């Protein structure tokens, strides 16, 4: 079974631009979560989607948004990029997104904002 | 709010040494606990998990962890490390709804050959 895939793997953007990252979960998984990984803040939860609905959101500004499609694929968008948005963005999928179910992570998208 | 603390930020060991990485969590609900590993240049991989039952859980590559409820701990152990265990290790707790992981700050392990 194919793992979680994320595209693109690397991205360089300029301050003020916007960016869209894509995540394809493991086949059959309905929950998709997004995390930001930085050297200073570590791994932080952004949001989680299940059946096209956002069920949980972390403590990030409204510039960070996401959505999930009917095939469970998910995208996250960051508008008005800031230097501090430079990070590795990780997507994780889970069969149910419920207690007793683990999350499987993709390779991440490395975003650099200049 | 849930939180996870990993006390060792950097650990350096020689091959064949024993490993124990500390993890303490703060969470009032039913605990689902995990250890993930991130090898250099690779993605986060699940090492082991605890949902319920036997508090001593075994994972891949000879790793194990013990859930001690009274101490709010979930320490990772390996009797004899190898150079290939060089990686960053993350402890995490899942929230009650099962849709959000809270991670510790990570422990960078370097194993000298």
Residues of B in contact with A92 (CB under 8 A): 44, 101
What separation, in Å, do the N-terminal and C-terminal C-alpha atoms of chain A show?
37
Q: Scanning every residue of chain B, which has its alpha carbon at the shortest distance from the alpha carbon of A55?
A: B99
Partner residue facing B101 (CB), from A45, A98, A100: A45
Contact B106 A43 (CB under 8 A): yes
Contact between residue A31 and residue A73 where contact means Cβ atoms under 8 Å apart: no
More confident residue, A99 or B86: B86
User: Could you tell me which chain A residue has the CA closest to the CA of B48?
Assistant: A102
Q: Is B108 exposed, middle or buried (0-12, 13-18, 19+ CB in 10 A)?
A: middle
**Considering only CA atoms, which of A69, A102, A19, A29 is closest in space to residue B101?**
A102
pLDDT value of position B5? 96
Which of these, A15, A33, A22, lies nearest to A85 by C-alpha position? A15
| Per-residue pLDDT tens digits for A35-84 | 999 999 999 999 999 999 999 999 999 999 999 999 999 999 999 999 99
Q: Report the SS3 class of residue A85.
A: helix
Which mean pLDDT values do the consecutive 10-residue runs of chain B (113 residues) have?
Answer: 91 97 88 94 94 95 96 97 97 92 97 94
Q: Are B37 and B111 spatial neighbours (Cβ–Cβ below 8 Å)?
A: no
Q: What is the pLDDT of residue A97?
A: 83
Q: Tell me the nearest-neighbour CA distance from A31 into chain B, angstroms.
A: 8
Pairing of strands B107-112, B10-14: parallel
CA distance B81 to chain A (A): 24
pLDDT value at residue B1:
76
Rounded distance between C-alpha atoms, residue A35 and residue A13, angstroms:
19
Residue A79 Cα, gap to closest chain B Cα (Å)? 23
The phi and psi torsions of B93 (rounded to 5 degrees) equal -125, 140
In three state form, how does the secondary structure of B53-111 look?
CCCEEECHHHCEEEEEHHHCEEEEEECCCCHHHCEEEEEEEECCCCCCEEECCCEEEEE
* pLDDT higher than 90, residue A109: yes
pLDDT of residue B22: 96
């Amino acid at each position: 079974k194919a793992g979680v895939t994320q595209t693109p793997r690397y991205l360089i953007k300029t301050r003020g631009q916007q960016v869209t990252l894509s995540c394809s979960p493991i086949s059959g998984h309905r929950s998709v979560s997004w995390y930001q990984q930085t050297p200073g803040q570590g791994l932080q939860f952004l949001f989680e989607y299940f059946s096209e609905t956002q069920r949980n959101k972390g403590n990030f500004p409204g510039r960070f948004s996401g959505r999930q499609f009917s095939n469970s694929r998910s995208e996250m968008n960051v508008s008005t990029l800031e230097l501090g948005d430079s990070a590795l963005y990780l997507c994780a999928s889970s069969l149910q997104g419920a207690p007793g179910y683990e999350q499987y992570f993709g390779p991440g998208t490395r975003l650099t904002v200049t | 709010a849930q939180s996870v603390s990993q006390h060792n930020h950097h650990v350096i060991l020689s091959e064949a040494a024993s490993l124990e990485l500390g993890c303490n969590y703060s969470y009032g609900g039913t605990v689902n606990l995990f250890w993930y590993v991130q090898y250099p240049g690779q993605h986060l991989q699940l090492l082991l998990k605890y949902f319920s039952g036997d508090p001593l859980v075994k994972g891949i590559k000879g790793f194990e962890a013990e859930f001690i409820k009274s101490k709010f701990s979930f320490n990772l152990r390996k009797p004899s490390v190898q150079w290939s265990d060089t990686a960053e290790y993350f402890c995490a707790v899942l929230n009650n709804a099962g849709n959000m992981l809270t991670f510790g700050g990570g422990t960078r392990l370097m194993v000298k050959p």
